[in-house]
Amino acid sequence: MKTKIYFASDQHLGAPTHEASFPREQLFVSWLDTIKHDAEAIFLLGDLFDFWFEYQTVIPKGFVRVLGKLAEIRDSGIPIYFFVGNHDLWMNDYFEKELNIPIYRDNKEFTFYNKTFLIGHGDGKGPGDLGYKRMKKVFIHPFSKWLYRWLHPDIGVKLAQYLSVKNKLISGEADVKYLGEDKEWLVHYCKRKLQTKHYDYFVFGHRHLPMSLAVGTNATYINLGDWVSYFTYGVFDGEKFDLETFKK
């Protein structure tokens, strides 16, 4: 029986180079192969790629194995849901048209086994981080994407990959320590959401640090960690939500 809901985030494939990330891609494909036997649904919560931009007729080179495995799983009838992250926010409709995988650009509510979930990548939520929030508005503006498309892919992709690698988020270096509940902005965000509606689980990525924290009565905030340092994922079996580590 297909009874489990799986969650993973922040693979950052392509960072710091395609060659260096290839073993991580192979490991992630192995994980997909492992979970497809009992997966009721699979959620990918962003930053699958360290950089992704879709031109009208061109997508970034590489990632054939992971794209092929996602196509295989989706063609078998297992739903896959993709939430764009801050590194692959320039995704367009390739996943939807070629893989039949819906794309979400903000949080979305789901209900499984009478448990309510609020799911998203997690970037730009909660108090603070105003610089990033302003920058994101510029990046996702249609004019910015239109302007970037005028760069030849050989230039545009290499430039973006270079700038993306310079971002500390790819390695999780800025996120290896728990900051304390009062400084974890996603904790603040979850508690604020609970003031207007109850959720059993808040599931996010982006933070690069696996954690599970109670944020209210029967309400838990889950951060999935990453596939750069931790190789962690979430699994909900209908009764409980666990964070686990994949080891081939």
User: Exposed, middle or buried by CB within 10 Å (0-12, 13-18, 19+), for 237?
Assistant: middle
Cα-trace Rg, the chain = 17
* Mean pLDDT of the 196-202 span: 97
Min mean pLDDT across 2-11, 55-64, 168-177, 208-217 is at 168-177
The average confidence (pLDDT) of the chain is 86
Cis amide leading into 127 (omega within 30):
no
- Give alpha helix (H) positions in 36-166: 64-75, 94, 130-140, 142-148, 153-166
For 141-173, what is each residue's pLDDT tens digit?
666 666 667 677 677 667 666 666 666 544 444
pTM of the complete model? 0.88
Give Cα 32 to chain centroid, integer Å: 15
**Looking at the chain, how many residues does it have?**
248
For 71-84, what is each residue's pLDDT tens digit?
999 999 999 999 99
